[in-house]
């Protein structure tokens, strides 16, 4: 399974909405699809698990959706602190964690 | 609270070995699957290894299979990654991360490994 994220980079203004795509090379279980945020110089942080469940302390402007092979992370009302690289991840128990190439969001 | 702290990174020559440690606090590491994930400078995330709750379950990424070994020590609540036969392509920040179901919920701050002659 390969995860393809698009776009590679997006430049937006504060208050705008961002839609980040994660497309799998075949249908996958949404239960094993997660999203992470990595700010510059920091470790990744869990945002969304099971395709649409927000992690603890994650603002509600972050939401996840999708099924099958197409998943989306939506950030509504962008803030400057949302400048980061966002990764989707699928857990294939026979292979391990599979990460997409990331989408850089510049505010 | 849950915390993961990696140590043991540094500069090492090609062909040499290094052992990374990840000390956990706030939870019992033995009750969770634990992963190592690395990130080469300016690149994306690459999964390296996992050790399951059942320690007989270990799995490795293709690029490190046969060279890296994951293990843990219960008394010290520490996860290890033994890196052997290092190459310049292994230069990266190595993160340990706690598994929660089908994702990872906590990450350490990372340990930088630089392989250079």
pLDDT tens string A31-82? 999 999 999 999 999 999 999 999 999 999 999 999 999 999 999 999 999 9
Q: How far apart are CA B62 and CA A79, in angstroms?
A: 38
Q: What is the band of A87 on the pLDDT scale with cuts at 50, 70, 90? A: very high
How do residues A20-33 score in pLDDT, each as one tens digit? 999 999 999 989 99
Quick one: DSSP state of residue B19?
A: E
Tell me phi and psi for residue B75, to 5 degrees: -60, -35
Quick one: DSSP state of residue B79?
A: E
Q: Which two tokens stand for residue B113?
A: 């490994």
**Closest of A38, A41, A40 to residue A88, by C-alpha:** A38
Residue A53: closest CA among chain B residues belongs to which residue? B103
CB-nearest partner of B44 from A31, A97, A99: A99
Which string of DSSP letters, residue by residue, matches B31-96?
Answer: GS-EEEEEE-TTS-EEEEEEE-SSTT-EEE-TTTTTTEEEEEETTTTEEEEEE-S--GGG-EEEEE
pLDDT for residue A69: 95
Q: How far apart are CA A73 and CA A75, in angstroms?
A: 7
pLDDT for residue B89: 97
Query: Are B102 and A101 within 8 A, CB to CB?
Result: no
- Is residue A93 predicted with pLDDT exceeding 90? no
Taking all residues of chain A, what is their mean pLDDT, rounded to a whole number? 96
- Residue B96's H or E segment, with its range, is strand B92-100
Q: What is the pLDDT along chain B (117 residues), one digit of tens a residue?
A: 999 999 999 999 999 999 999 999 999 999 999 999 999 999 999 999 999 998 889 999 999 999 999 999 999 999 999 999 999 999 999 999 999 999 999 999 999 999 999
HEC profile of chain A: CCEEEECCEEECCCCCCEEEEEEECCCCCHHHEEEEEECCCCCCEEEEECCCEECCCCCCCEEEEEECCEEEEEECCCCHHHCEEEEEEEEECCCEEEECCCEEEEC
Residue B109: closest CA among chain A residues belongs to which residue? A43
pLDDT for residue B56: 86
Q: Which two tokens stand for residue B17?
A: 């070995």
pLDDT for residue B62: 95
Tally Cβ neighbours within 10 Å of residue B3: 12
Q: What is the band of A94 on the pLDDT scale with cuts at 50, 70, 90? A: confident
Query: Are A97 and B59 within 8 A, CB to CB?
Result: no
Contact residues on chain A for B44, CB-CB shorter than 8 A: 85, 87, 99-102
- Does residue A75 contact residue A17 with C-beta atoms inside 8 Å? yes
């Amino acid at each position: 399974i390969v995860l393809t994220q698009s776009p590679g980079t997006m430049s937006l203004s504060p208050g705008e909405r961002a839609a980040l795509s994660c497309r799998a090379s075949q249908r996958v279980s949404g239960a094993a699809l997660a999203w992470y945020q990595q700010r510059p110089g920091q470790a990744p942080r869990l945002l969304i698990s099971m395709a649409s469940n927000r992690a603890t302390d994650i603002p509600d402007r972050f939401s996840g959706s999708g099924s099958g092979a197409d998943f989306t992370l939506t950030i509504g009302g962008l803030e400057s602190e949302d400048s980061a690289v966002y990764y989707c991840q699928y857990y294939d128990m026979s292979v391990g964690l599979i990460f997409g190439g990331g989408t850089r969001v510049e505010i | 609270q849950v915390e993961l702290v990696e140590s043991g990174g540094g500069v090492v020559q090609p062909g040499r070995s290094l052992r990374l440690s990840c000390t956990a606090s706030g939870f019992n590491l033995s009750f969770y699957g634990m992963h190592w994930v690395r990130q080469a400078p300016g690149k994306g995330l690459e999964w390296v290894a996992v050790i399951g709750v059942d320690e007989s379950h270990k799995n490795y990424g293709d690029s490190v299979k046969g060279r890296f070994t994951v293990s843990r020590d219960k008394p010290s609540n520490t996860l290890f990654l033994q890196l052997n036969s290092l190459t310049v392509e292994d230069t990266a920040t190595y993160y340990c991360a706690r598994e929660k179901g089908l994702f990872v919920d906590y990450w350490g701050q990372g340990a930088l490994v630089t392989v250079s002659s």
